[in-house]
Each structure stands twice: as C-alpha cells, then as structure tokens.
C-alpha cells in the first residue's frame, strides 16, 4: 500500500517541523509526524514507512505501526493524502 499527497497540497520542510497547506489552511506537523510526512511524500510503501519510522523514533515496529497508521488515517480524513 502506498499513499501520495493530494494535488492541492503544498508543504515545506523546516528545521524541526513540516508546514502543510491545503485549501488555504496551514498546519504544522511536529516530530515524529513530520518525519512520517516526509517519507510518505517521497512515495515510500507503508511497510517501509513503518520500518523507517521505528528507527527514527527508536522504538519497536508495533509502536511505529500504530503511529504511522494513526497519522495516515488522519491525513486521509483531512484530504491531505490519497491512497494509490
């Protein structure tokens, strides 16, 4: 499974966060969601995002998977990313 950012979404990477703008509303993603966003936006498969996130947060895959799935679910719900 892969996700990609929606067509009308723009973002930029800051020192410790990512700013995402969609439909004229901006939000700031802090660590570790910022790192997950970066991986998703690069087109990595979800399994790979989970694996890399586990390294980033220095935790096991179960924690990482929960974190990644929660983030993906929220972003899909907000229209920031789409499956496929």
Contact of 35 with 13, CB cutoff 8 Å: no
From 1-9, 45-53, 60-68, 70-78, span contacting another protein (CB under 8 A): 1-9
Instruction: Tell me whether residue 6 or residue 52 sits nearer to another protein (CB atom).
Output: 6
Hey, what are 65's tokens? Answer: 């998977």
Residue ranges with strand state E in the chain: 3-5, 9-13, 17-22, 25-30, 81-83
Mark residues 38-57: x for contact with another protein by CB under 8 A, - for none.
---x----------------
Residues that bind another protein (CB under 8 A): 4-7, 9-17, 19, 21, 24-26, 41
């Amino acid at each position: 499974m892969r996700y990609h950012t929606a067509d009308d979404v723009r973002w930029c990477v800051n020192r410790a966060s990512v700013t995402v703008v969609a439909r004229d509303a901006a939000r700031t993603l802090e660590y570790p969601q910022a790192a997950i966003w970066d991986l998703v936006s690069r087109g990595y498969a979800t399994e790979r995002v989970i694996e890399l996130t586990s390294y980033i947060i220095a935790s096991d895959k179960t924690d990482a998977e929960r974190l990644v799935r929660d983030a993906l679910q929220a972003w899909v719900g907000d229209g920031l990313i789409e499956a496929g």
